Amino acid sequence: MDDVATRIEHTVLGPTTTPGDVQAVLDTAIETGMRACVPPYCVSMAAEYAPGVELTTVVGFPHGQHTTANKADEATALAEEGADELDVVANLGLLRAGEDESFRRDLAEVVAATTRPVKVIVEAPLLDEDEKHRAARLATEADAAYLKTATGFADGGATVADVELLSTYLPVKAAGGIDSWEQATAMFEAGAERIGASSGDAILEE
């Protein structure tokens, strides 16, 4: 159980998320040994409130179309405020336009801006097969530490097929629509190293 808990990032990232919501997620993480994924504006508070919890936050969320400079500055600031890992949203507009080098450079500058591990959210439900491979390859070339399937805010979420594909490039964090132990198990068996879920507590209870 302890091993499973450390592979789950108990997540609260909705548009109406309050500091109280974040503290509730952190309380559960403290109790169970899970990691936590919290909004950028709560990172400093979360690091002080729960110094023993491994904290992830998001960069360029939820669409990835911030300027590269803004993403890099955000990554630097959030690491300084206490984030242990950063999940950056890839700019799919660049990928869709065939601007692969700009896509790679956007991610590489975020990775270079911090010593923290960076996971790249490729938003796989929005991509065709070729785009998934290109996104994964370019994120790998940008020195990302992980690939993450989805933000959870676009249509569709994590699938076994996407985890299998992405895990041939880098370790994978499966996220988007995972709310049961059965689903989490399927993702682990497909090759996911981590699970991101707002139902992390329910998954553990199961």
Active-site annotation, residues: 87, 148, 173
**Per-residue exposure over 168-199, b if at least 16 CB sit within 10 Å of its own CB, e if not:** ebbbbbbbbbbeeeebbebbbebbbebbbbbb
* One-letter amino acid for residue 43 of the chain: V
Q: Are 165 and 192 in contact (CB under 8 A)?
A: no
Alpha helices in the chain (DSSP H): 2-6, 19-32, 43-49, 68-81, 92-96, 100-112, 129-141, 160-166, 181-190, 200-205
Q: CA-CA distance, 151 to 4, in Å (whole number)?
A: 21
Q: Which residues contact 15 (CB under 8 A, 6 or more apart)?
A: none
Contact 187, 160 (CB under 8 A): yes
Q: Is the dihedral of CA 156, 160, 161, 167 positive or negative?
A: positive
